Every structure is written in structure tokens, then in C-alpha cells.
Amino acid sequence: MTSVSNSTTEIPEYHDVPDTPPIPRTAVVPAAGLGTRFLPATKTVPKELLPVVDTPGIELVAEEAKSAGAERLLIITSPGKDGVVAHFVEDLVLENTLAKRGKAAMLAKVRKAPSLLDVASVIQEKPLGLGHAVGCVEEYLDDDEDAIAVLLPDDLVLPGGVLEVMARTRQRRGGSVLCAIEVPGDRISAYGVFDVEDLPDANNPNVKRLKGMVEKPAPEDAPSNLAAAGRYILDRKIFDALRRIKPGAGGELQLTDAIALLIEEGEPVHVVVHHGTRHDLGNPGGYLKAAVDFALDRDDYGPDLREWLTERLK
């Protein structure tokens, strides 16, 4: 098990707990949505497989889960989106061909996704919302798994390390832990926004108690500048809460409603504020920024892209 600790949310809060926080064994990646914001591409290509330079977004998220110490990746997918899981299956014909041609670097790239984690899939028959999707995994967990990590593949949260901080927060304070990023007031309306309060006993100001959430508020109604960032450590009690909430608009079960129910019932729910970058791969604008950001950092494409962009922007 590895532990990455390069997040700016790293802490004095936790000097009294062991170094390796207990990351949930199972990382759940919901990928059964329709991806309508990415049509027409998503008519046949799952958005989770769209490449950020050359690597599908879902592989980057799987790498994050692996670095955090998860052992198993449970991909929630829909009938017909088999390619998402196939990306994590060995392709021996392709591997042999690359090996015979001496393409060692390509071979390593192709082998990476299948070697990361133990991957399994869960089918969500109909896109009945993120809450419904998460509810589908309960029967696939072992009895001793008291929490899951959920990583939305639309969200890239950089640099890595926030899941570890979230796991430590759960270790110290119990319950569920969500990830927040700071968003300027004029852009806050695009997000789920957290209503939080500071903890009197926190050494780390980035850890806060969650009081509630508001979906896409008008800027003047936003309870904070902290937006949900697609990373969750959810106590197993979430499944019971999901069974007790009612579907909202479009018949969808919202994960946030189940989290709100846990808060209402006095379960501990905290957020960790992550100071870093968040890319939203779920819409073409955010996806393009992520691709450019990643490409600029690459030795093979970065210099040429930088030169072209500079010229193009003149």
C-alpha cells in the first residue's frame, strides 16, 4: 500500500494517528450516466474513455485510487458501455504485437490500466441518478467494509493526496467525508455548494463540519465558496439513507439528499478543502482545459503546443 502526501491539505491535525490512514478497500467509480453534455461524441463513445492527451479520464481516476491505497475498483456502468470496463482488461493480442515490434513504451502504457487494481463492474440498468448508482454497489461489498471511496470520473482533482486526508478525517471524526474546492463567487452557481462550520478542535482549518448543501445556488444565496469536487468517503450508512430518500427531478435519486439525511440524523459528515486544481471532464469546455493543461506539462507535446498556442492567441 502506498501513501501519497503531496496535498496542500497536509496536516498537523493528525500527528496523533498512524501514518497510513485506512482508505476504504473499494473505490467506486460511477460511470453509468448518459453524458448528454458531450453529445454527439457520447452517442457511441463513453465520456469516461475520452483521452486526456492519450489516457482516458477513468484511468487517471483509477491511478488516483490506487495511489491512495484502494485495492478494488468497482465501476458502475450501464448496458452497452462495456468499453469502460474493457479498458481495464488485458489485451494479449495487442500486447504481443507491441512486444514483437519492440514498442516497449507503448506496451507499458497498454499494460498499465489492467495492472492497477482488481476491477469489477456493476450494472445500473437505468440512469436513475448518482444516488441510485451508488446504491447499486452495496451487495458487492464484503461484510467488513464499513465505508467506500467514491470518485467521480468527470472530476480530476490535482495534485493527488486528498483521499488520504479525507481518510484521516474519517479515522479521527468518523462518518463520511467529502472534498471541497474553493470557487470564485461569480462561478459558484455551476456547483453543489457546501454550508460548513469551523471545528473548534481542528488544527487544520481545511477540515470543516458539513451542515448542508445547496445545488447550483444564485451567487447571493451561496452559503460558502466551497464547491463539491467529486471525491467522497461514505460510511456504509449511506446505503440505508439512499433507501429512505425520495426521487427528485426526473425520477433521479440524488446522493446529496442521502448525505443531507445523514446530517439531519446527527451522523458526522465533514469536508476537506482541497487547495489545488479541479478539472471538470464532463463538459467539452472543461475537458479541453484539462487536455491543454496536461499536454503543456508533457515533454513530448508541451513545447510545440505552447509555441502554437502563443502564436494562435496573438
Residue 290's SS3 state is helix
Query: Which of the residues 255 through 294 are near ligand UTP (CB under 6 A)?
Result: 282
Q: Is 127 in the site for ligand UTP (CB under 6 A)?
A: yes
DSSP 133: H
For residues 206, 211, 212 and 216, what is the CA-based torsion angle, rounded to 10 degrees?
Answer: -40
For cell 498499465, name the residue.
112
Stretch that binds ligand UTP, among 28-36, 142-150, 188-196, 219-227 (CB under 6 A): 28-36
Stretch that binds ligand UTP, among 7-15, 18-26, 66-74, 125-133 (CB under 6 A): 125-133
DSSP 217-266: --GGG-S-SEEEEEEEEEETHHHHHHHHSPP-GGGPPPHHHHHHHHHHTT
Considering only 56, 129, 160, 286, the residue that binds ligand UTP (CB under 6 A) is 129
The rounded Cα 159 to chain-centroid distance in angstroms is 13
Q: Is 137 in the site for ligand UTP (CB under 6 A)?
A: no
Query: How many other CB atoms are found less than 10 A from the CB of residue 3?
Result: 14
Considering only 60, 117, 130, 148, the residue that binds ligand UTP (CB under 6 A) is 130
**How many chain residues interact with ligand UTP (CB under 6 A)?**
20
Nearest CB to ligand UTP, comparing residues 149 and 202: 149
Query: Which of the residues 50 through 79 are near ligand UTP (CB under 6 A)?
Result: 76
Stretch that binds ligand UTP, among 13-21, 29-37, 171-179, 183-191 (CB under 6 A): 29-37
Question: Which long-range CB contacts under 8 A does 96-99 form with residues at least 24 apart?
Answer: none
Stretch that binds ligand UTP, among 121-129, 178-186, 233-241, 270-278 (CB under 6 A): 121-129
Nearest to 152 by CA among 48, 45, 19: 48
Considering only 21, 24, 30, 175, the residue that binds ligand UTP (CB under 6 A) is 30
Q: Is 192 in the site for ligand UTP (CB under 6 A)?
A: no
Residue closest to ligand UTP, measured at CB? 33
Q: Is 32 in the site for ligand UTP (CB under 6 A)?
A: yes
The dihedrals phi and psi of 100, each to the nearest 5 degrees, come to -60, -35
Query: How many other CB atoms are found less than 10 A from the CB of residue 145?
Result: 14
Q: How far is the CB of 253 from ligand UTP (least distance, A)?
A: 8
Residues making contact with ligand UTP (CB under 6 A): 30-37, 76, 124, 127-130, 132-133, 152-154, 282
